[in-house]
Structure 1
Amino acid sequence: MLHEAECNYHVPIPAQDIDKNGKVALSSVATCLLKCVLELKAAERCGYFLAVTKLKSIGKGYEFSGSCYFRVDFNCRTFLPVDGEIMVGVVSAIDIFGAYLKCGPMNYVYLPAHKMPGFHLVDGKNPHFLADNLSRIENGDMIRCKVFAVRWIEKIRHIEREFIILASLEGDGLGPISLPGSDEMHF
């Protein structure tokens, strides 16, 4: 899921950061690039931007609509969800249809009930899924799951520039993860 990507972006630079000769300080370009990457958050072909690792080149500046832009080529580390990969997420909500997980920068990971073989819903004040072997899936639990499907959302309602993930527990070694020092009894 972690990738190294080559990207380019037309970075707006404030006029006060450009000297009389049209030169701009590298620190100013880097600061503006980081602000742009933070606002952009993710791109369909690259994934979620985690870090800028290298500034490769800075092009000549040009003026457009009263602002000055510089084309910046850079390398960055990204988090790109891909079908079939295994990930670990934290359960953030449970309803009768499945569980909602968060994984790294991804806020929209859905694990439907029909993709949890052997688990059934125990409804009540604190709903959770219970398996035949008594393992549980409840809020705050860490789950190892497989990416079943990925969809890029540019903008729908309140969701903007996000990947929507459909997850599955079908396969070996998938399901709730018990952590050392947890509340479980040891025999």
Structure 2
Amino acid sequence: MFFEIAMRRQVVLVPHELGNHLHTRRAVFRRLLLDLDTLSCSEDHGYYVAVTTIENLSEGVIRSGSGSVVYWIDFKCIVYMPVAKEIVEAQVSKVTGMGFFADCGPLDEIMVASREMNGFEFRPAEVATFNRWKDLSGNEIGVNAVVRLQIIGFKYIPGERRFRAVGTLNGNFLGHLPDFGKKEPSI
């Protein structure tokens, strides 16, 4: 789920990034965006998607000895935090005999195990990218298929700075979504 949160971060500029007032402000904002891009995700906030507004920029404080300047910046940021029992639409990235993996925005690893797909049967292929899960009504879940699933749990992986989630297709209105972009041949 997407949220807008208020944040406060310390930004450090080295002497060669400093210049006139406008140049320095741009350098502070550029450094903030680079820091958030490098951080990409935190356990408390989720995935950092975009900085929306800059609320306040403090006066710079010079660090003795290094010549670098420290700024405190207050800003608002849109984040994506997975939520248990949330229903999402995701694109299937990998299909195995144990289930499939799907991607939903920055959440790039949602595992749906075979026990969470009532009514589906695995159809292996000679090439792994053509593996499919098929149900009695003819719906197939393969690589690049779009599914509606419910997140039943997630975990933050600190070393990788990302979340992993587990989902289910068991529930009302969950499962394979038809491809509305394809036109059916007329008879």
TM-score (normalizing by structure 2): 0.87
- Counterpart residue identity of residue 3, structure 2: H
Cα deviation digits, residues 13-50 of structure 1 (max 9, x gap): 12123359x99732221111111111111111211111
Counterpart residue number, 1:50? 49
Deviation at 1:107, TM superposition (A): 1.4
Give the letter aligned to residue 107 of structure 1.
D
The verdict on how the C-alpha distance between 1:186 and 1:97 changes in structure 2, with shifts beyond 3 A counting, is farther
Cα pair distance change 1:115/1:124, threshold 3 Å: same
Matched, 1:161 2:161: yes
Q: Does 1:136 align with 2:140?
A: yes
Q: Distance in 2 between matches of 1:59 and 1:51?
A: 21
2:105 aligned residue: 104
Alignment partners' CA distance in 1, 2:54 and 2:48: 15
Aligned length: 182
- Which structure has more strand as a fraction of its residues? 1
Partner of 1:174: 174
Structure 1 residue 114: deviation in Å? 0.7
Sequence identity (%): 24
8 Å CA contact retained: 2:18, 2:27: no
Write out aligned runs for 1:54-69 (5 A).
54-62=53-61, 63=63, 66=66, 67-69=68-70
Query: What CA deviation, in whole Å up to 9, does each residue of 1:108-155 have, x standing for no partner?
Result: 111111111111111122211111211111011001101110111111
Residue 152 (structure 1) aligned with residue 156 (structure 2): yes
Matches of 1:131 and 1:64, distance apart in 2: 68
Query: Partner residue of 1:29?
Result: 28
* 1:150-183 Cα shifts (integer Å, max 9, x gaps): 111111xxxx110111111111111111122327
Q: Counterpart in 1 of 2:8?
A: 8
The code of the aligned residue for 1:37 comes to L
Q: Which amino acid aligns with 1:15?
A: P
1:118 paired to 2:91: no
Q: 2:52 corresponds to which letter in structure 1?
A: T
SS in 1 for 2:115: helix
The 1:13/1:46 distance shift into structure 2, 3 A limit, reads same
Q: Which runs of 5+ in 1 are unaligned?
A: none
How far, CA to CA, are the matches of 2:18 and 2:7 in structure 1? 24
CA distance in 1, matches of 2:83, 2:64: 37
CA RMSD of aligned residues (A): 2.4
Q: For residues 153 and 54 of structure 1, what CA distance do their matches in structure 2 show?
A: 29
C-alpha distance in 1 between matches for 2:119 and 2:184 = 21
* Distance in 2 between residues matched to 1:139 and 1:133, nearest whole Å: 19
Where do residues 70-109 of structure 1 align in structure 2 (5 Å cutoff)? 70-109=71-110
